[in-house]
Amino acid sequence: MDYLHSISGKKTILGIHNREPNAIPDLQTNKISELTSKKPALYSADFLFLDEDVDNRWKIVKECKKKWIEGMIPQLMLHVVAPTLEDRGVWDGGVQTKLTDAQWEDLITDGGKLNKIWKLRLDTYAVYLKYLQEENVPVLFRPFHEMNQAAFWWAGRKGLKGTSALYKITRDYLEDIHKLNNLIFVWNIQDLDYEWEEYHPGNSYYDIFSLDVYNEDGFTKFKYDKMLDIAGDKLIAIGECAVLPTVQELIEQPRWVFVMSWAELTFEYNSNQKIIDLYNSEIAVTL
């Protein structure tokens, strides 16, 4: 965190998400390195939900340790199946599904049936996160990404008893019960609307506020200024994007502490030259 604050407003860390399969935990990172002759400075992976990816969770966790030793900053995400279902599941009807209002109330109520199930789910993730803590590896942790994206079972619920309530329960449980102190919590929103304050978990519950930029208007000054208005002195970052920002856009918006492009979309939505130029620019932090 000291390092991230020291570069905020001056430099932007470049990273890429390593989308499934977890069996090949550095697939996308290696593609960037081969193309640009530079290694990303941020490594991202996901616990995921398909059988084959759950079976390889230790691979991504061990990769986080490996990357940290190399000098990268690791991040772990949760594309997680609803607690009404088993941890191992599917995308459509598992990650992208709905909870009724009654189920949601049960989920965020201490002692509720779904509340207990969710905490048991967190117990399984805590095993991996404790390993990283014991190995002195800090990790950016983004448990509920795109909190305004209603396609996900956890998201799209506004207000104090909405998605932010589950986020707070999760942080409290991992830190108070499992005594995890190596997690840097990333609060994340997508640019599909601008009602971001409706999902604010409170300043004490997040360390970095990140925005997933997928709208065609891209990296507008309006989005940047709104992020700063909400975050204040806290760090802001581009949590995901398909189209990378240009060097000039990062110069004009210097508070983005990192940019993480989304796996294969990086290469589908950007020319090789644009990627090379960004990774070799003076404003970029690579490994």
Provide mean pLDDT across the span 159-172: 98
pLDDT value at residue 92: 97
**Helix (H, G, I), strand (E, B), or coil: what is residue 63?**
helix
pLDDT value at residue 20: 86
Q: What gap in Å lies between CA 120 and CA 125, rounded to an integer? A: 9
Cβ contacts of residue 264 below 8 Å, gap of 6+? 19, 28
Q: What gap in Å lies between CA 239 and CA 260, rounded to an integer? A: 6
**Residue 176: φ, ψ to 5°:** -85, -40
285 and 265 Cβ atoms separated by less than 8 Å: no
Provide mean pLDDT across the span 236-245: 98
DSSP percent split of the chain into helix, strand, coil, nearest 5: 40, 20, 40
Whether the bond between 25 and the residue before it is cis, its omega within 30 degrees of 0, is: no
The 10s digit of each residue's pLDDT in 95-149 is 999 999 999 999 999 999 999 999 999 999 999 999 999 999 999 999 999 999 9
Q: Which helix (H) or strand (E) holds 237?
A: strand 235-241
Give the global pTM: 0.97
Closest CA to 170 of 137, 188, 144: 144
Give the type of residue at 21. P
Flag whether pLDDT at 72 surpasses 90.
yes
**Which alpha helices (H) appear in 144-281, and where do they start and end?**
163-172, 221-231, 247-252, 265-269, 272-279
**Residue 186: φ, ψ to 5°:** -110, 115
Burial of 101 (0-12, 13-18, 19+ CB in 10 A): exposed
Provide mean pLDDT across the span 44-56: 97
Closest CA to 79 of 148, 28, 164, 143: 143
Flag whether pLDDT at 45 surpasses 90.
yes
CA 267 from centre of chain: 20
Residue linked to tokens 């690579």: 286
pLDDT value at residue 67: 98
Flag whether pLDDT at 44 surpasses 90.
yes
Q: What gap in Å lies between CA 89 and CA 245, rounded to an integer? A: 34
C-alpha dihedral (203, 243, 98, 44), degrees to nearest 10: -60
Domains of the chain with CATH codes: 2-285 (3.20.20.80)
Provide mean pLDDT across the span 277-283: 97
Q: Which helix (H) or strand (E) holds 104?
A: helix 101-107
